[in-house]
Amino acid sequence: MFEPARIASAAAAHLEALSFEERFAAGLLVLMALLPVAALALGGGYLLLIGERAMIFAIAAVSLELLIGVAGLISFGHAAFLGIGAYAAGILASHGHGTLSLALPAAIVTSALFALLTGSIAVRTRGVYFIMITLAFGQMAFFVATSLAPYGGDDGLTWPTRTLILGTRVLKRETVFYYVALACLGAVYLLAGRLVGSRFGRVLRGITDNERRMEANGFAPYGYRLTAYVMAGATCGLAGFLLGNQVEFVSPAYMHWQRSGELILMVLLGGSGTLYGPMLGALAYQLLEEGLARLTEHWKVILGPLLVLLVLFGRGGIAGAIERWRRGELTVEGLWAAVTASLRGAGASMVRRWQRAEVAARGALALAMPRCKAGWATIAAGSRRCKAALSEARVSLALLVDRSVTGALTRWRRR
């Protein structure tokens, strides 16, 4: 009954039915699934570790995309969930309860609870207040972790071992762990896709677009937003669980606010508004970090300006670029033309500025010159007048002396 041709054609038909985004994501996942084979061929276990890390961060980035792209909530404290998931599982493991049936639910439920607690306050606020309050809650989690003295405090907590599955250490095998992470990423992608397409997701988007209209239609934004926040937190808790498992260690640095910034960066680098974008962004960021770190120890000096350039010029991130390329708006010639045009524009504006400055300087000079001349003339006239007065005074003094001397002489003669 095994008919490869029929299965292939059925698969092709399924593939036809998928949107470009879904096909792209599927391709990406298949590529990731083939990576261990490549790693085996190249003999690099290190490649596997990078791949695992990229997939774990991809889960976190997809969960953040649910907030940023779908719910319109810019969370700057998302790394807290990474840490909470890892700490929940790690603390259980350090007490000897590091089994899948306990650790995984603990990681997810703790993250969800933290999201519920903080979200119930944070979701009331809007815009920049939301950014700052999530940042503050992230810091709060960070400081709590640093003061967890029984579990390592600042130094972090080393897990005794990776989570046990059915009492076995099967996760210790790197390939197994890799495919578990891949399966998690695939499941998260599918679930997130279903969520975005569901009624819930559409209501959420509607609220992001126009809150008042949705309210008038009878939807209470608060509940929808809070639910989205809790779901994103729980998903990121799963990523934290995997991250802690990968390195068998957890420290407060997981929750550092710069990590939250990096998560936002992954989402925007890949392109918010799609689900494959953040996945791609997480992958690209890992590669970027690896590459730059190899280049120089101070790789953040390069990353920082890259971020600024990404914001200034890279609208829509990688996904946006792919989208434009598909629509035929982005071609190499077009890009080249844009670059040269912008360079020429910058040059022209510099020339224009210089000319304007020159004109202004000339004008100032022209304005100042007559005044200078007039001032000089006044000074010269004054000094001339001064001289004249001086000579006059001298003459009158001489006359006075002369007169008084002659007067005295005549008086003396008369006597």
Partner 1 sequence: MSTSLLVVQLFNGLQLGVLLFLVAAGLTLVFGVMDFINLAHGVQYMLGAYLAVAFYRLTGSFFAAAALALPASLLFGLAMELMVFRHLYARDHLEQVLATFGVILFLNEGVKIVWGAAPLNMGMPELLSGSVPLMDGLRYPVYRFAIIGAGLAVAGGLYLFVNHTRVGMWVRAGAANAPMISALGVDIKRLFTVVFGFGAMLAGFAGVMVAPILSVEPGMGDQVLILAFVVIVIGGIGSIRGAFLAALLVGVIDTLGRSFMTDALRLVLPPSPARAIGPALASMGIYLLMAAILALRPVGLFPTKGRA
Contacts with partner 1: how many residues (CB under 8 A)? 46
Task: Please check whether residue 251 is in contact with residue 152, taking contact to mean a CB–CB distance below 8 angstroms.
Answer: yes
Pattern 157-176, partner 1, x by CB under 8 A:
--------------------
Q: How many angstroms separate the CA atoms of 63 and 273, rounded?
A: 13
In the complex, minimum distance from the CB of residue 104 to partner 1, in angstroms, rounded to a whole number = 26
136 binds partner 1 (CB under 8 A): yes
For residues 39 and 67, which CB has a smaller minimum distance to partner 1 in the complex? 67
Q: What does the block give as tokens for 314?
A: 């890279």
Scored b (16 or more CB within 10 A) or e, 258-286 reads ebbebbbbbbbbbbbbbbbbbbbbbbbbb
Comparing C-alpha atoms, which of 64, 63, 26, 34 is closest to residue 51? 34
Helix intervals (H) in 248-315: 257-270, 276-295, 300-313
In the complex, minimum distance from the CB of residue 260 to partner 1, in angstroms, rounded to a whole number = 9
SS3 assignment, position 77 = coil
Q: How many angstroms separate the CA atoms of 266 and 218, rounded?
A: 35
Per CB under 8 A, the list member of 63, 110, 111, 118 interacting with partner 1 is 118
In the complex, minimum distance from the CB of residue 165 to partner 1, in angstroms, rounded to a whole number = 32
In the complex, minimum distance from the CB of residue 309 to partner 1, in angstroms, rounded to a whole number = 8
For residues 198 and 258, which CB has a smaller minimum distance to partner 1 in the complex? 258
Per CB under 8 A, the list member of 94, 99, 146, 227 interacting with partner 1 is 146
Q: What does the block give as tokens for 176?
A: 């197994």
In the complex, minimum distance from the CB of residue 94 to partner 1, in angstroms, rounded to a whole number = 16
For residues 27 and 127, which CB has a smaller minimum distance to partner 1 in the complex? 127
Per CB under 8 A, the list member of 132, 247, 288, 292 interacting with partner 1 is 132
**Stretch touching partner 1 by CB under 8 A, among 52-60, 280-288, 308-316, 393-401:** 308-316
Q: How many angstroms separate the CA atoms of 242 and 245, rounded?
A: 5
312 binds partner 1 (CB under 8 A): yes
For residues 94 and 146, which CB has a smaller minimum distance to partner 1 in the complex? 146
| Neighbouring-strand partners of residue 249 | 158
Q: How many angstroms separate the CA atoms of 184 and 201, rounded?
A: 21
In the complex, minimum distance from the CB of residue 70 to partner 1, in angstroms, rounded to a whole number = 14
**Stretch touching partner 1 by CB under 8 A, among 30-38, 52-60, 119-127, 273-281:** 119-127
In the complex, minimum distance from the CB of residue 306 to partner 1, in angstroms, rounded to a whole number = 7
Per CB under 8 A, the list member of 140, 284, 293, 321 interacting with partner 1 is 140
| Sequence letter at residue 363 | G
Q: What does the block give as tokens for 70?
A: 């779908």
SS3 annotation, 138-167: HHHHHHHHHCCHHHCHHHCEECCCCCEECC
Which residues does 204 contact at the CB level (< 8 Å), separation at least 6? 70, 71, 224, 225, 228
Q: How many angstroms separate the CA atoms of 334 and 408, rounded?
A: 107
**Stretch touching partner 1 by CB under 8 A, among 104-112, 124-132, 192-200, 220-228:** 124-132
Q: How many angstroms separate the CA atoms of 300 and 304, rounded?
A: 6
Comparing C-alpha atoms, which of 299, 259, 285 is closest to residue 54? 285
Of 248-307, binders to partner 1 (CB under 8 A) are: 257-258, 261, 264-265, 268, 272, 298-301, 303-307
In the complex, minimum distance from the CB of residue 120 to partner 1, in angstroms, rounded to a whole number = 8
For residues 51 and 270, which CB has a smaller minimum distance to partner 1 in the complex? 270
Per CB under 8 A, the list member of 32, 57, 58, 76 interacting with partner 1 is 76
| Sequence letter at residue 411 | R
For residues 51 and 277, which CB has a smaller minimum distance to partner 1 in the complex? 277
Comparing C-alpha atoms, which of 5, 4, 6, 22 is closest to residue 279? 22
68 binds partner 1 (CB under 8 A): yes
Q: How many angstroms separate the CA atoms of 347 and 145, rounded?
A: 52
What is the Cα gyration radius of the chain?
Answer: 38
308 binds partner 1 (CB under 8 A): yes
Per CB under 8 A, the list member of 131, 188, 228, 319 interacting with partner 1 is 131
Which residues of the chain form contacts with partner 1 (CB under 8 A)? Answer: 68, 74, 76, 118, 121, 124-129, 131-133, 135-137, 139-140, 143-144, 146-150, 257-258, 261, 264-265, 268, 272, 298-301, 303-308, 310-312
